[in-house]
Amino acid sequence: KNEVEQSPQNLTAQEGEFITINCSYSVGISALHWLQQHPGGGIVSLFMLSSGKKKHGRLIATINIQEKHSSLHITASHPRDSAVYICAGFVASGSRLTFGEGTQLTVNP
């Protein structure tokens, strides 16, 4: 079983829709990172959270430590949000990131 499981693998939405991407993680992960990867390969770090909720513009990330679950929400989605979103867990014992498989998001105009 992977240390980080992400769903869905693919997501297609219409512009303006509310989007949710989910991430479940295993014991031993002390922090959760959400990353965005554009077609050229460049990766941008969106959020890092170990508790609660963070918001940046139209993006919201939440984490439930008891359930070992995190979600990334995009409100009022836009075609420019189309990218791969990756959930990554920080494994404290090894000081390394372990990655989910990614969610390919396509937002159609």
Partner 1 sequence: EAGVTQSPTHLIKTRGQQATLRCSPISGHTSVYWYQQALGLGLQFLLWYDEGEERNRGNFPPRFSGRQFPNYSSELNVNALELEDSALYLCASSLLVGRGSETQYFGPGTRLLVL
Q: Give the largest CA-CA distance in the chain.
A: 44
Task: Please identify which residue in 39, 40, 57, 109 interacts with partner 1, judged by CB under 8 A.
Answer: 40
Asked whether the beta carbons of 46 and 23 are under 8 A apart, the reply is no
Q: From the CB of 6, what's the least distance to partner 1, in Å?
A: 9
Q: From the CB of 102, what's the least distance to partner 1, in Å?
A: 6
| Residue 94: Cβ within 10 Å count | 9
Asked whether the beta carbons of 21 and 107 are under 8 A apart, the reply is no
Q: From the CB of 49, what's the least distance to partner 1, in Å?
A: 10
Q: Please report, for residues 30, 31, 37, 71, 93, the alpha-carbon distance to residue 27 in angstroms, rounded to integers and kept in the order given.
A: 8, 11, 26, 17, 11
CA distance 103 to 101: 7
Is 16 or 52 the residue whose CB approaches partner 1 more closely? 52
43-102 positions binding partner 1, by CB under 8 A:
43-45, 48, 50, 86, 88, 90, 92, 94-102
Stretch that binds partner 1, among 18-26, 37-45, 53-61, 63-71 (CB under 8 A): 37-45
Q: Which residues bind partner 1 (CB under 8 A)?
A: 30-31, 33, 35, 40-45, 48, 50, 86, 88, 90, 92, 94-102
